[in-house]
Amino acid sequence: MNEEKKYPWQKMYTVILIANAVYILIFYFITQYFTE
Amino acid sequence: MEIDSKLASLDWIILFGTLLFIVAYGTYKTRKNTSEDFLRGGNDTKWWTIGLSVMATQASAITFLSTPGQAFHSGMGFVQFYFGLPIAMIVICLVFIPIYHRLKVYTAYEFLENRFDLKTRSLAAILFLIQRGLAAGITIFAPAIILSAVLGWDLLLLNILIGVLVIIYTVSGGTKAVSVTQKQQMAVIFGGMFIAFYLIVDQLPQDITFTKALEIAGASGKMEVLDFSFDMSNRYTVWTGILGGTFLMLSYFGTDQSQVQRYLSGKSIKESQMGLLFNGLLKVPMQFFILLVGVMVFVFYQFNASPLNFNPEAKEAISNSKFKAEYNQLEQEHIDIENTKKTLLLDGFQESERTQIQSLNEKDLALKEEGKKIIDKVNESSIKKIESNDKDYVFIHFILNNLPRGLIGLLLAVILSAVMSSTASELNALASTTAMDLYRRNTSEDKTEKHYVKMSKWFTLMWGIIAISVACVANLFDNLIQLVNIIGSIFYGNVLGIFLLAFFIKHVKGNAVFIAAIITQALIISIYYLDWLPYLWLNLLGCVLVIELAIIIQFFSLKNDRKKTA
């Protein structure tokens, strides 16, 4: 196999991770709000 | 089960109009297909088409039938199952896509020959064909049996109809037709689900606003989205979602040709990556939304009568059995509880009523469990087995009994579009793998691309017929759906392990991987037969075993080689 070309980390990956972290945070507040 | 009273002419027109339009559009748009279009989608697919196609492939009809029912019974916790998906998408974008694109592969398994050898490629391809070939049949059968139960449609005819519609455009247009039609199918699916959601909220009593509806759901324990406990008996927790989910999604999106083929059709690496990231961004909110639809159906049934068990076949079987009186008694108690709850909740939810609502819900749940036990007892003395778990029947029951004419047809089109989109991807992937990994690689003469396209069409037809046949005989087996999941768990881990070795452990060579994969497969099958582990864990075990064994075998073969050289 040829030497592999490196593919760097992209800003979009960070955006996706942050967005999903925000979803989980929202779910956390929903859970807290509706649980006694 | 009276079909005529359930569907009006308008429903039939919308249902068949939508489905036939999609089939005709897919066939027409790809009539001038080149070989490249047929096999790899022309390598000109834009990122949003890839994103929608990837989502449509994963979202089968069961997603739209079963997920709202899951929320109806157990609340929103199922969304945690998808927490690992965005992480898997990023790993695939970073590692898998650049390599697949650089090698210009037609299938994921082609990469294995490049990295290891032909026998490893063929082994992985065969494992995929066995597992996905059976799964394609179940993709058709699982929703067909539900629709036939609630609508009285002939199961055999429905299986054949769905299969034939998919075969028409998949044989004619290949990969290109699959992605072209999936855009339309996703538009129908999203449109239908949004309208359904609006209508459910709209049909709540006038004083019950959306916020009040959420409070009622919350008081009944349906809004507990996150579970941070480490309880192994809880299937859906944040931890199983992030750890198990990442692993599962990595094997599904990274090594299953039905998904790999979707993003390999990308115009460039960037487009393929963006397509998967699109999925990583939208999948969790999409699942949350589908679950929310189920929660709103739950709130709707706090003010409207619901059956004790949503499977209409159960009620029919019990009314012809000696358990009729016992079941009627449970139904009466269920109606009493419903009436009490309705009176309590009509002015919205008050904090002081929480304990009372919880107690009523517990009593109702106990009645439903009693009802399931009666159904199981009826099953013992009957040839035809009735599904006592009614979660798959909740949403379709709501659709058929509460949506206006026309919209019932649209929602049925949503469900059948979802069956068709997943089945089309599966048939397309099965045909490409058979054509490129087995047929092309094992025929001695070099043939033209046209010849391989022709063969791919024949293989698509062949797999379509196999899928329809599996769907038609599925009813004869007690637990075929579970059997397919078991077969998946037996093979998936091994295949993912082979790919992880290929990507990350450079010093391991083909012979070591092949021997390790054969030993692993034999061990996993034995462990399953000896019943040492719940079958879902076989995924993880298969993956770890193949990696460790390959490293050990490689170590000893290197040692041997050195001895020989010395």
Coil, strand or helix at B45: strand
Q: What DSSP state is assigned to residue B447?
A: -
Judged by CB atoms closer than 8 Å, whether chains meet at B218 and A12 is answered as no
Residues B124-153, buried b or exposed e (16+ Cβ, 10 A)?
bbbbbbebbbbbbbbbbbbbbbbbbbbbeb
Residues of B with CB under 8 A from a CB of A: 76, 79, 83, 86-87, 89-90, 93-95, 98-99, 102, 114-115, 214-215, 217-219, 223-226, 238, 269, 273-274, 277, 280-281, 284-285, 288, 354
The Cα-based distances of B101 to B146, B421, B563 in angstroms read: 41, 24, 39
**Cα(B347)–Cα(B326) distance, integer angstroms:** 34
Q: Which fold has domain B3-300+404-438?
A: Sodium/glucose cotransporter (1.20.1730)
Paired tokens of B343: 């009176």
Q: What is the mean pLDDT of residues B213-239?
A: 86
Return the pLDDT at B535: 74
Inter-CA distances, B344 with B137, B260, B334, Å: 46, 52, 15
- Stated pTM of the model: 0.89
pLDDT of residue B29: 85
Sign of CA dihedral B487, B493, B497, B503: positive
Q: Which of B395, B396, B388, B392 is nearest to B369 (CA)?
A: B388
Query: How close B378 comes to chain A (CA, Å)?
Result: 39
- Closest C-alpha to B302, from B396, B208, B391: B208
Residues B398 and B203: beta-carbon distance below 8 Å: no
Average pLDDT over residues B273-278: 96
Contacts of B122 (CB under 8 A, 6+ apart): B109, B437, B438, B441
* Interface-testing mutation among A4, A13, A33, with chain B (most B C-beta atoms within 10 A): A13
For B434-482, what is each residue's pLDDT tens digit? 998 999 888 877 788 888 889 999 999 999 999 999 999 887 665 666 6
Name the nearest CA neighbour of B414 among B6, B79, B19: B19
For residues B242 and B439, what is the distance between their CA atoms, to the nearest angstrom? 39
- Considering only CB atoms, B86 lies closest to which of A2, A16, A27, namely A16
Q: Is the pLDDT of residue B5 over 70?
A: no
Q: Which two tokens stand for residue B324?
A: 């009729």
In total, chain A counts a number of residues equal to: 36
Put simply, the answer to whether B273 touches A4 (Cβ < 8 Å) is no
With b for 16 or more beta-carbon neighbours within 10 A and e for fewer, the B499-515 pattern comes to: bbbbbeeeebbbbbbbe
Write down the ipTM of this complex: 0.90
Rounding to the nearest 10 degrees, give the CA dihedral for residues B12, B14, B18, B19.
Answer: -10
**How far apart are alpha carbons B336 and B355 in whole angstroms?**
18
Residue A2 clears pLDDT 50, i.e. is over it = no
